[in-house]
Amino acid sequence: MATVRLDQKSRAIVRSISDSYINAIASYFGSGPTDIAVAKAQHKAYSDALSSNGVDVTTLEADQNHPDCVFVEDQAVVIDGHVLLPVPGHESRRGEQPPIADFLVEQLKGHQICKMQSPAMMDGGDILRLGNLFFVGRSTRTNDAGIAELKDLLDHLGHELRVIDIPPHALHLTSICSTPSDQLILVPEGYLSPESFGVMPDGCEIIMMPQEEVYGCNTIGLPGNKVILAEGYPTVKSELENRGFECISIDMSQIRAADGSLTCCSIFY
């Protein structure tokens, strides 16, 4: 979800779970996938939730050589008529990018394509968009040179970028927060302070959530005041329901097991 506004969320790419998914990286909150059949069923429910809520979903084929290939968000960044193809931060994941890049180039004729060059590196999962304000996580996957390339693109588009240092116990910026709408950011206690986001634009708000619901802070907002969220995070759910959102809950246990969150599994374009 991370790099498009709500009004731009009509189409998305997802990618099937690889038969080698059991070997996906799990170095942060995941303990490693244990059941590929369940993972595939959960991924189908995810894709169905997008489709049945108005998103035109294209599913790319899995790559058996890349256990993490389902996590497409990291591989390409689409912002207002531009596609930034980052150098993914984990070396083992760099080969996931070509089919995603080919698809976007074919679909988005006329968009400007910017290809990041090493030693710059960045995962799409480190970018968060709040309306026309952007945040980027400086993390184990995203370095200063990668941030500089993103800033060049956003300067060109006239959008502000704010840098947030990701604590060592977190993977990506979007592993710990999300924007269920263009005005709200969900942030867990114990990971980031409200001050790390700077002064909020008029009408925007940071909602602090309990530390134990950090995984639930990753949500996908959709047009029509809908939000997809992971099952099992009651404070996040009730906070969103109290604000008038229609909540669509999904079991993400086998996706979470590979350090994956809701937003990791799609690219809106």
* Chain contacts with ligand GLY (rule: CB under 6 A): 24-25, 68, 71, 90, 93, 258-260
Tokens standing for residue 254: 């086998």
For residue 208, the Cα-to-chain-centroid distance in whole angstroms is 19
Q: Report the 10 Å Cβ neighbour count for 145.
A: 15
If the CB atoms of residues 25 and 206 are measured against ligand GLY, the closer one turns out to be: 25
If the CB atoms of residues 35 and 235 are measured against ligand GLY, the closer one turns out to be: 35
Q: How far is the CB of 209 from ligand GLY (least distance, A)?
A: 22
Residue 234 burial (CB < 10 Å; 0-12/13-18/19+)? exposed
Q: How far is the CB of 25 from ligand GLY (least distance, A)?
A: 4
Q: How far is the CB of 89 from ligand GLY (least distance, A)?
A: 8
Q: Is 218:256 a contact under the CB 8 Å cutoff?
A: no
Nearest to 180 by CA among 245, 267, 259, 261: 245
Cis previous bond, 119, omega within 30 = yes
E-strand ranges in 76-165 read 77-79, 82-85, 112-115, 127-130, 133-138, 160-165
Q: Which amino acid is at 263?
A: T
Q: How far is the CB of 194 from ligand GLY (least distance, A)?
A: 27
If the CB atoms of residues 71 and 134 are measured against ligand GLY, the closer one turns out to be: 71
Q: How far is the CB of 259 from ligand GLY (least distance, A)?
A: 4
Nearest to 144 by CA among 172, 169, 165, 115: 165
If the CB atoms of residues 9 and 141 are measured against ligand GLY, the closer one turns out to be: 141
Find the residue with minimal CB distance to ligand GLY: 25
Tokens standing for residue 108: 């988005």
Place of tokens 């069923």: 41
If the CB atoms of residues 221 and 260 are measured against ligand GLY, the closer one turns out to be: 260
If the CB atoms of residues 88 and 180 are measured against ligand GLY, the closer one turns out to be: 88
Beta partners for residue 78, in sequence order: 83
Q: How far is the CB of 263 from ligand GLY (least distance, A)?
A: 12
